[in-house]
């Protein structure tokens, strides 16, 4: 297989830009090796699966100047205002979130944190919150701006932070007074204005308070403006880079690899536009526009994609609005999968180079999403590979050496473990942080901002301890000072983004401010009278590994019964349609149709049909395939005209009884 792939890569080297790689992982040394290979080879087309991180990194760039990962000091917060984040259903790092929930609920009545869940559906997270605010679909940002309006109008914001460390507050406050009064926001969100005012006052007086964004589990892209609306609350509350608030996740001080060796072809590749249209400096670092990539492939724009690599990604099942992507695959000459499983996308591949599962291979475990301090661990193999697989890192090193020249020179290591160790040496040389060698440590408790004396004396000692224990962690850079936290043109947090102007984004004043714009769902209302909204649950895997059979046994009969999926419908809506519990129905959108059964629940908003994601596999094995339906097959993605990011919930549907 590697010989076949080497010959194909040699044959297309003069058109190196035609190589595309899609990774399901965003962090770690293996994704870095894939990105490194493409750069050395001469292609700009390294992509990641779409996720909420795209909106967050873009929002951080435009408001704070750096497109980094966002971290929340949740354990120290006294009020958590969650805008759609399924905080105990897979958002962030699930084990960390469950521990944080235990901290919030661990104190006395006066000491415990207040949790408010803003969401359309009555989820498990909503049921565990102190308060569920049921908003109209897709209007969370409007509610955030309504809360901000009350805080500004009543002077309930952190004047010290806002006056000294923010830019554009006057423009933002004028927008709030004009467009987001409680009356106007109540009409948009269907949340009573009295409740909006009460939420604003409670959020303002509770110290510290933090607002969360990243809908569902954070796997689906969302609106950058929605993120900015929620982040504006954190800025008004003075909760940026403070204990109990929100910060950017610091990166572990890993050593850098040698610079990529660029030959004439790869130097030309540096100048090529990406197939997602993000050429130049505008979006090259913070994000990628995957749906633009799909459209460009389908329409034959820019140039052909001759080969696509897939690593830890199963877009033929997991991508919201999956049908256009499957159509686009037919335009690619060679599809190569590095998957450990015969998933839906691997079934469409021309060449499969299977990797060991995560239980069978060595790999780094980077900082979990949403964490406020740096962490680094090793994922150790707990058993030997059972089949004829090879570590993807080792495959890349072998491919590079087979190609020779600058590509080979960019991969000077004998194997993946050697390359990984070279990065980890940076931790030992930095002389900061500790290895968590005692169970139950709580770094967030009284330790943030404090330098930790290393409990290892050399690289070999550090590697051994990482292999035997849990992870390395460092809390010293968890909360940067406000003077150093912002690298925008104003050197401040920007409500009105000069950074957007600097990067060449053109528009009116509203373009540069947090604002709410309603998504117009796909489908004619007369033909498709209801709204279809997918939802994620911790019991159903959403990602490159399918839900195993023993996990399906944990599902209730009103979620999956036999091979039948259930959709959630409000009893009133069901009555209007003549439906009762368990009825078989057909769901039809512009993209196609699916069959499911009906579950009646008051947790579902009237006129909205809720469908779980993660089921409906046609790949893997006989124990997994055919269980339920795949909601992504009938969703229609709606893209924002300014950022190009996709909203995942804007699909109209009609439902009829079988």
Q: How far is it, in rounded angstroms, from Cα 54 to Cα 48? A: 10
Residue among 597, 530, 522 at smallest CA distance from 567: 597
Q: How far apart are CA 435 and CA 329, in angstroms?
A: 45
Q: Evaluate if residue 280 carries a pLDDT over 80.
A: no
Sign of CA dihedral 80, 84, 90, 93: negative
Residues 6+ apart with CB under 8 A from 259: none
Strands 363-365 and 434-435, by their bridges, are unpaired
Contact 217, 164 (CB under 8 A): no
**pLDDT by residue (tens digit) across 217-227?**
988 888 999 99
How many CB atoms are closer than 10 A to CB 213? 30
Three-state SS for 194-255 is HHHHHHHHHHHHCCCEEEECCCECCCCCCCHHHHHHHHHHHHHCCCECCCCCEEECCCCCCC
Q: In the structure, what pLDDT confidence band is assigned to residue 282 with cuts at 50, 70 and 90? A: very low
Residue pointed to by tokens 């707990």: 382
- Which of these, 571, 569, 572, 562, lies nearest to 585 by C-alpha position? 569
The closest alpha carbon to 153, from 184, 183, 174, belongs to 174
pLDDT at 283: 37
Going by pLDDT thresholds of 50, 70 and 90, the confidence category of residue 107 is low
* Kind plus residue range of the DSSP H or E element containing 34: helix 29-41
Answer yes or no: is pLDDT of 296 > 90.
yes
Residue 133 backbone dihedrals phi, psi, to 5 degrees = -105, 105
Measure CA 415 to chain center: 30
DSSP symbol at 186: H
Give the pLDDT of residue 469.
Answer: 77
3-state SS string over 631-643? Answer: HHHCCCCEECCCC
**Spatial CA neighbour of 251 closest among 476, 445, 92, 429:** 476
pTM: 0.95
Exposed, middle or buried: residue 401 (CB in 10 Å: 0-12, 13-18, 19+)? Answer: middle
* CA distances (Å), origin 197, targets 131, 134, 228, 562: 15, 15, 20, 47
Question: Residue for token digits 């979130």?
Answer: 97
pLDDT tens, residue by residue, 565-576: 999 999 999 999
- Contact assessment for residue 431 and residue 380, using Cβ atoms and an 8 Å cutoff: no
> What is the residue whose two structure tokens read 């070999």?
460
Over the stretch 306-332, which tens digit does the pLDDT of each residue have?
999 999 999 999 999 999 999 999 999
Under the banding of pLDDT at 50, 70 and 90, the label for residue 357 is: very high
Mean pLDDT for the chain overall: 93
Q: Lowest-pLDDT range, 194-198, 416-420, 465-469? A: 465-469
């Amino acid at each position: 297989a590697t010989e076949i792939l080497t010959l194909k890569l040699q044959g297309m080297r003069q058109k190196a830009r035609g190589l595309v790689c899609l990774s399901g992982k965003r962090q770690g040394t293996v994704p870095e090796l894939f990105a490194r290979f493409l750069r050395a080879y001469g292609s700009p087309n390294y992509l990641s699966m779409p996720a909420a991180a795209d909106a967050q990194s873009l929002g951080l760039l435009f408001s704070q100047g750096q497109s980094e990962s966002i971290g929340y000091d949740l354990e120290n917060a006294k009020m958590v205002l969650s805008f759609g984040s399924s905080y105990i259903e897979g958002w962030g790092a699930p084990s960390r979130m469950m521990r944080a929930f235990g901290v919030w609920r661990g104190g006395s009545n006066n000491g415990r944190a207040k949790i408010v869940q803003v969401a359309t559906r009555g989820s498990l997270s909503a049921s565990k919150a102190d308060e569920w605010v049921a908003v109209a679909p897709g209007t969370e940002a409007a509610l955030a701006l309504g809360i901000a309006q009350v805080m500004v109008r009543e002077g309930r914001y952190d004047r010290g932070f806002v006056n000294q460390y923010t830019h554009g507050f006057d423009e933002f406050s004028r927008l709030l007074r004009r467009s987001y009064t409680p009356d106007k926001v109540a009409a948009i969100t269907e949340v009573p204005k009295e409740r909006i005012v009460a939420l604003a006052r409670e959020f303002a007086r509770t110290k510290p308070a933090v607002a969360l964004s990243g809908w569902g589990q954070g796997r689906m892209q969302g609106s950058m403006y929605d993120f900015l609306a929620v982040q504006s609350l954190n800025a008004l509350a003075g909760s940026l880079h403070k204990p109990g608030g929100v910060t950017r996740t610091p990166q572990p001080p890993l050593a850098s690899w040698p610079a990529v060796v660029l030959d004439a072809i790869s130097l030309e590749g540096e100048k090529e536009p990406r197939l997602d249209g993000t050429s130049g400096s505008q979006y090259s670092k913070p994000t990628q526009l995957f749906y633009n990539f799909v459209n460009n492939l389908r329409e034959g724009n820019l140039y052909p994609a001759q080969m696509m690599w897939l690593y830890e990604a199963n877009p033929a099942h997991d991508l919201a609005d999956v049908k256009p992507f499957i159509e686009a695959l037919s335009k690619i000459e060679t599809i190569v999968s590095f998957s450990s499983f015969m998933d839906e996308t691997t079934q469409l591949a021309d060449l499969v180079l299977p990797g060991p599962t995560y239980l069978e291979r060595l790999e780094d475990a980077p900082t979990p999403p949403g964490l406020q301090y740096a962490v680094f661990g090793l994922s150790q193999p707990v058993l030997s590979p059972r089949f004829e697989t090879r570590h993807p890192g080792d495959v890349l090193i072998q491919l590079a050496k087979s190609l020779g020249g600058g590509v080979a020179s960019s991969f000077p290591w004998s194997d993946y473990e050697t390359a990984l160790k070279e990065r980890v040496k940076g931790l030992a040389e930095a002389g900061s942080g500790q290895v968590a060698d005692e169970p139950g440590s709580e770094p967030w408790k009284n330790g943030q901002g404090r330098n930790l004396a290393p409990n290892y004396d050399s690289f070999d000692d550090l590697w051994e301890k990482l292999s035997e224990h849990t992870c390395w962690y460092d809390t010293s850079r968890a909360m940067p000072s406000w003077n150093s936290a912002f690298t925008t043109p104003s050197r401040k947090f920007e409500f009105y983004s000069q950074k957007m102007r600097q990067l060449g984004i053109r528009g009116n004043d509203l373009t540069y401010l947090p604002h709410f714009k309603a998504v117009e769902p796909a489908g004619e209302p007369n033909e498709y009278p209801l709204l279809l909204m997918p939802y994620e649950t911790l019991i159903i895997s959403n990602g490159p590994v399918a839900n195993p059979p023993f996990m399906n046994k944990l599902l209730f009969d009103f979620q999956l019964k036999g091979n039948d999926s259930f959709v959630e419908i409000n009893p009133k809506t069901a009555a209007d349609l003549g439906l009762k519990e368990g009825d078989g129905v057909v769901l039809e959108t512009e993209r196609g149709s699916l069959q499911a059964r009906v579950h009646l629940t008051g947790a579902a908003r009237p006129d909205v049909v809720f469908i779980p994601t993660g089921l409906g596999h046609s790949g893997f094995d006989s124990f997994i395939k055919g269980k339920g339906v795949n909601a992504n097959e009938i969703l229609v993605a709606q893209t924002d005209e300014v950022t190009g990011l996709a909203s995942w919930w804007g699909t109209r549907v009609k439902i009829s009884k079988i």
